[in-house]
Amino acid sequence: MKRTSRDIRTANRYEVLRQIIARSPTSRQELASATGLSLATVATLVGELLDLRMITEVGFEDSAGGRPRGLVAVNAAGGALIGVDIAETYVHVELFDLALNVLARAEEDIRPGESRPEQVIDHVAAAVGSVVAQAGVEAARVLGVGVSVPGQVDRATGIAEYAPNWNWHDVPLLDLLSEHIAYPLHLDNPLRACAVAELWFGAARGHEDAVVVNLGTGVGAGLVLGGGLHRGVSNSAGEWGHTTLVLDGRLCHCGNHGCVETYVGAPGIMRNLRELDPRSPLLHPEDQTATVDALARGVAEGDPVAVKVVRDTARYLAAGIADLVNLLNPEVVVLSSWVAARLGEPLLDEVREAVARHALRRPLAATEIVLSPIPTDPVCLGAATFALEGALQSVGQRAAQRVVSGKGRTAPTA
């Protein structure tokens, strides 16, 4: 319980800014009605955001017969946020304004064998330098950099505890990055980045309970529960890719057998194809992306092998998604990341049909399954959102310190 009042305050600050980003320009009255918060609370939070120049006053609107209402809008130029998506084969970096428009992009390839932390960090530093230069923003205006790295991370210490693709153990990633990058750094993983991107800007917006299923080389599920990200006690919730789908099934790199990831991650999909037709021209043995692209084209052209592989993959995926539906009873399941984007509607159709066979009637009736509507890289967007959340949290800490030093105890009556 000790965390409650500060958590609520931070969550309310997020929610007000989310609504301003979605509705700019908007009035305090409209924000109060959209968030369910009192007008006084909204006015306080709007004041904090104005102080920080994250939003600006942009005029007045008439209110039927009453006093004209002040309008606020997000101050797009009030700061820049950087999102870093470190994946197995590339580093993708985007620089955003405060309305989360992309102002600049950079991509670096990670070649096979380039898996030492120092090598990866050099790519990150180069790409971050590139987006800042391209966008021409002053260093002081960069509010923060969110960094997503696959696997298990400790946010508080900035350590990548276990990155399965490169077998990294306890790499002090943020310490190493801070030797090259002077902006505030925030570390998390792609599951949670995608979930936060959907929660702020995508298909989870306005939902209390949502699951963002991340389909890439690795797979996992970002969990939005009770309107916020569910992290678990040590920030490792969401490892749905390492839940058992087939007891004693395919060996997984985690040491377990039959994990969901071994059937629906990109290497698992390649294996589904290989088991069906080892010599298929669709198969690019060293290239996951090319293979998934070939499958997508094959499905579009009615190639029976491609259709069968997508159907088999959808069936594995659906059994795993039905588990999430039965266990968590979410309002929406969002399919995100590059495999979902490339296989698109044909995969979605097969998945919906198969989930309906596996899930219980009641939770199934309450759930929608959709593709991520976010048009850009959701991991970069989510990582930038972590930087935004970090900036908002530090506002709150400064505001709280001000009040504490001025008035003594400030615990609210809630």
Minimum Å gap between C-beta 185 and its own copies is: 21
8 Å CB contact between 379 and 190: yes
d(CA 313, CA 335): 14
Question: Which one of 56, 130, 165, 243 is in contact with its own copies (CB under 8 A)?
Answer: 243
Question: Which one of 94, 108, 323, 377 is in contact with its own copies (CB under 8 A)?
Answer: 323
List the x/- string, 212-241, binding to its own copies by CB under 8 A: ---------x-x-xxxx-xxxxxxxxxxx-
Should residue 1 be labelled a site residue for its own copies when binding is judged by CB under 8 A?
yes
Residues 198-217 that bind its own copies (CB under 8 A): 208-209
Residue with tokens 């504490």: 404
Question: Which one of 15, 30, 97, 312 is in contact with its own copies (CB under 8 A)?
Answer: 15
Show the tokens assigned to 413: 């009556």
Minimum Å gap between C-beta 247 and its own copies is: 5
- Please measure the distance between the N-terminal and C-terminal CA atoms of the chain and give it in whole angstroms: 12
Question: Which one of 177, 199, 328, 347 is in contact with its own copies (CB under 8 A)?
Answer: 328
Residue with tokens 């400030």: 410
Give burial (CB, 10 Å; 0-12/13-18/19+) of 376.
Answer: middle
Question: Which one of 53, 362, 398, 402 is in contact with its own copies (CB under 8 A)?
Answer: 362
| Three-class SS state of 239 | coil
Minimum Å gap between C-beta 309 and its own copies is: 17
Question: Which one of 129, 249, 344, 396 is in contact with its own copies (CB under 8 A)?
Answer: 249
DSSP letter string over 92-122?
EEEEEETT--EEEEEEEE--TT--SHHHHHH
8 Å CB contact between 194 and 203: no
Stated as kind and residue range, the H or E segment containing 221 is strand 219-225
Question: Which one of 68, 304, 375, 412 is in contact with its own copies (CB under 8 A)?
Answer: 412
Question: Which one of 173, 319, 379, 388 is in contact with its own copies (CB under 8 A)?
Answer: 319
Looking at beta carbons only, is 35 or 89 nearer to its own copies?
A: 35
Stated as kind and residue range, the H or E segment containing 332 is strand 332-336
Question: Which one of 140, 365, 405, 406 is in contact with its own copies (CB under 8 A)?
Answer: 365
Burial 396-414 (b: 16+ CB within 10 A, else e): beebeeeeeeeeeeeeeee
Looking at beta carbons only, is 28 or 242 nearer to its own copies?
A: 242
- Which segment (182-190, 250-258, 334-342, 396-404) binds its own copies by CB under 8 A? 250-258
List the x/- string, 150-169, binding to its own copies by CB under 8 A: --x--------xx-------
Minimum Å gap between C-beta 4 and its own copies is: 6
